[in-house]
Amino acid sequence: MIAQDETEEQVVVVLYEDDIGKYEKKFTPFSTYLISTAKVRAPLPYGIPVNRFEWVLDRFTVVEQVKGDNVEDPPLPAPTRLNTVSLTNLDQKPQHVEFDILAVVVSCGAIKIAGVHGNKCRQIIFMDTNMHHFMFTFWEDFAEIDGSDLDAQIEEHPVILAKRIARSSYAGTSFTTRYNSVILINPLYP
């Protein structure tokens, strides 16, 4: 899983074998935890690293949820740091670099089955402040969950904040979700 601290630094949290069962019911999305005595290591050489290090939780790790009613340890503030890029300069960035976009959605297609593995996808069209249109492909759960929410709100032209997405070269410059992407609809960002 991916966790982040109050400064929005992210780290991959890894579980192995019996520890998966021990912690699978303990963690819930968007909750705050105090994690002690985790092992810290460099990311493994395969895959795209999220940070310079990752944490491994084992039977000696202590995990305590910080409750919302705990005044001594209040929950973390809402995230504010964005890694947005100008869409006009995107061709200069490598395709494997993740970034954030803030844009207005103007069209939301239906779910389709694509690729040799039959993956679900949905094509979203958004535009930037210069009225340039771009295609954004939502894959799997993003197509079903976030895509359905967008489709229900499309008449109001919702704003999306898409975090940790990537550029692809399909049909010119387009965008795609990744395993660790986050899609926020009408976010409460300044």
Q: Do 136 and 162 form a contact (C-beta atoms < 8 A)?
A: yes
Neighbours of 142 (CB within 10 A): 25
The amino acid at residue 37 is T
The per-residue pLDDT for 81 is 63
Residue 189 confidence class, pLDDT cut points 50, 70, 90? low
Mean per-residue pLDDT over the chain, rounded: 79
* Rounded Cα gap, residues 24 and 3, in angstroms: 14
The per-residue pLDDT for 70 is 54
The per-residue pLDDT for 6 is 73
Enumerate the CATH 2.40.50.140 domain ranges in the chain, comma separated: 87-185
The per-residue pLDDT for 114 is 83
Write out the two tokens for 167.
């550029």
Report the share of the chain in percent with pLDDT over 70. Answer: 82
The per-residue pLDDT for 71 is 54
Instruction: Write out pLDDT tens, residues 117-163.
Output: 888 889 999 887 778 888 888 888 888 888 889 999 999 989 888 88
The distance from CA 99 to its chain's CA centroid, rounded to whole angstroms, is 10
> In what helix (H) or strand (E) does residue 17 lie, and over which residues does it extend?
none
The per-residue pLDDT for 3 is 83
CATH code of the domain occupying 87-185: 2.40.50.140
- Least confident interval from 78-87, 99-108, 123-132, 168-177: 78-87
> In what helix (H) or strand (E) does residue 141 lie, and over which residues does it extend?
helix 141-141
Report the share of the chain in percent with pLDDT over 90. Answer: 3
Residue in the structure block whose two tokens are 């926020």: 184
Residue 68 confidence class, pLDDT cut points 50, 70, 90? low
The per-residue pLDDT for 47 is 66
Integer angstrom CA distances of residue 77 from 5, 68, 83, 89: 10, 12, 18, 31
Write out the two tokens for 126.
């958004």
* Rounded Cα gap, residues 127 and 113, in angstroms: 25
Residue 78 confidence class, pLDDT cut points 50, 70, 90? low
Average pLDDT over residues 87-114: 80
Residue 83 confidence class, pLDDT cut points 50, 70, 90? low
